[in-house]
Amino acid sequence: MRTVRTATEMQQVALSHKVGLVPTMGAFHEGHLSLMRAARAECASVVVSLFVNPTQFAANEDLELYPRDEERDARLATEVGVDVLFVPSAEELYPEGFATWVDVEEAGGEAAARPGHLRGVATVCVKLFNIVRPDVAFFGQKDAQQAAVLRRVVRDLNVDVELRVLPTVRDADGLALSSRNVYLSTAERAEALALPRALETGRSAHVQGSDPIAAARAALNGLEPDYVEVIDVGDARVLAAAARVGSTRLIDNVVLEGELR
């Protein structure tokens, strides 16, 4: 596996068709690795970007604290058969005078809870698409609204890339894998299980014809949600929630109708 640190070098790497890109912020877990494996299975060249994108964090969020271990990530990516690990610096992607943003008009859920977050995500992903020029890019259902926003960006701006959205990978007890789970103490981790359980309760309620939001809220077991909402993600409709456990903010969602592709 080759590690590349500048956009210029990345644009010059000879990649064979078809090219798959997996954008990440590192601290790899099985969720990230499942995207890399899907890319490996479908594509001739696999590029993984590792960049803790400062523009998607608000001033009061965990940018400084965010787990970083490039050596371990590089080892895991090599094991999966990734061809190129693209690790740009913040100065590389956001040089002096950077002033152009991809701002999707999105309401509710993460858009309301984290103003500016999805703008940062959309902007960095368009930059990565332009630098790597992938045929296919892989994202996780875990961040359903992020995937929905990126689908809209690709459609609205005629970006020549296909998106794939893959299922959320969970621990055996149901907690969605997340790089932020390392912040949880043992007690908090146990508390956090209320989030996937409440969403499952909401999904069952929906299947039986009652209100999934009310059912999920009632099952949160004391967790304070930022929101519990039904969100359209492409052709699918998901029940999504965000909640704080101690100082850690977790998000999760389950599909109510349709299929995430």
Residues designated as active site = 32
Query: At 252, phi and psi to the nearest 5?
Result: -160, 165
Strand order in the sheet with 136-140: 2-4, 84-86, 45-50, 19-24, 136-140, 162-166
Residue 80 or 205 having the CB closest to ligand PAJ:
80
Q: Decide: is 143 part of the binding site for ligand PAJ (CB under 6 A).
A: yes
Burial of 260 (0-12, 13-18, 19+ CB in 10 A): buried
Question: Which range in 18-26, 59-67, 103-111, 154-162 contacts ligand PAJ by CB under 6 A?
Answer: 18-26
Closest residue to ligand PAJ in the complex (CB): 140
Residue 15 or 36 having the CB closest to ligand PAJ:
36
CA–CA distance, 50 with 27 (Å, rounded to integer): 9
State whether residue 176 is helix, strand or coil.
Answer: strand
CB of 67 to ligand PAJ, least distance (A): 10
Binding mask 188-227 for ligand PAJ (x = CB under 6 A): ----------------------------------------
CA angle 183/150/152 to nearest 5° reads 145
Residue 145's nearest CA partner among 179, 121, 161 is 121
Q: Decide: is 148 part of the binding site for ligand PAJ (CB under 6 A).
A: no
Among 7, 10, 21, 35, the residue binding ligand PAJ under the rule CB under 6 A is 35
Question: Which range in 29-37, 86-94, 96-104, 192-200 contacts ligand PAJ by CB under 6 A?
Answer: 29-37
CA–CA distance, 120 with 124 (Å, rounded to integer): 6
Residue 111 or 169 having the CB closest to ligand PAJ:
169
Tokens matching residue 22: 């997996």
Binding mask 95-134 for ligand PAJ (x = CB under 6 A): --------------------------x--xx---------
Q: How many CA atoms lie within 13 A of 109 on its CB side?
A: 24
Which residue ranges make up the site for ligand PAJ (CB under 6 A)?
A: 23-25, 31-32, 34-35, 53, 56, 121, 124-125, 139-140, 142-143, 146, 166, 168-169, 176-179
